[in-house]
Amino acid sequence: MSSLAAAPATDLLAVLQARFPAAVARPSVDHPAFNLPMAEVPAALLLLRDEHGYDLLIDVTAVDWDVEARPRFSVVWHLLSSTAHGYVRLVADCVSDAEPTAPSVVSLWAGANWHERETFDLMGIQFTDHPDLRRILMWDGYPFHPLRKDFPLAGIETPLPDLEVADLTKASVLPAPMMGGPFVASSGEMNLTEAEPRAKDESWNERSAKPAVL
């Protein structure tokens, strides 16, 4: 990985700033990373793809910084140069916090299609000019975006995807019993018995409700 990180010889910041004066370097522990205004991202990706060999789109994803954070959402693109073997990361903040949008790059990489659908599904980022922006993991009609910070891990009560089956079984999407979880292993713990993932409190479960004060 270290050889990959070191590979790009050209000064990408200078390259980007020559075309996009608003581009700034972004603090990064691994690969070159840059912040850009959202509107300039497709042109910057095109520049990196066609003139600097970053031919492979590795990932399109998003970050929800916090419900209160402004800007709340950032969209992240990772590119790999299959000749120079180096990664580059572009990050752009969404202008709107309530209805975050980002430009689609399906016209640059067909593979962006499903990445953007996933980011739309789980984070609620609307990709403008996407050819088929449907949910990809959750079902059509699911009302939430589960990876947002204001969505509880246990979930929110919703009808089942199929109303006929929901009517037949009287089942619905219910918040999962967290049983004192989430279950997390403590990092840096050398005693494996102590590091075992466990609930911090097991006094409540599916049948006995969670105490009001914990």
The footprint of other proteins (CB under 8 A) covers 137-139, 144, 146, 151-156, 160-162, 164-166, 168-169, 171, 173-179, 181-183, 206
Nearer to other proteins, 5 or 178 (CB): 178
Q: In 10 A of CB 194, how many CB atoms?
A: 10
Nearer to other proteins, 46 or 156 (CB): 156
Nearer to other proteins, 5 or 160 (CB): 160
Instruction: Compute the least distance from the CB of residue 144 to other proteins, in Å.
Output: 8
Nearer to other proteins, 37 or 152 (CB): 152
Instruction: Compute the least distance from the CB of residue 118 to other proteins, in Å.
Output: 13
Instruction: Compute the least distance from the CB of residue 94 to other proteins, in Å.
Output: 23
Nearer to other proteins, 37 or 155 (CB): 155
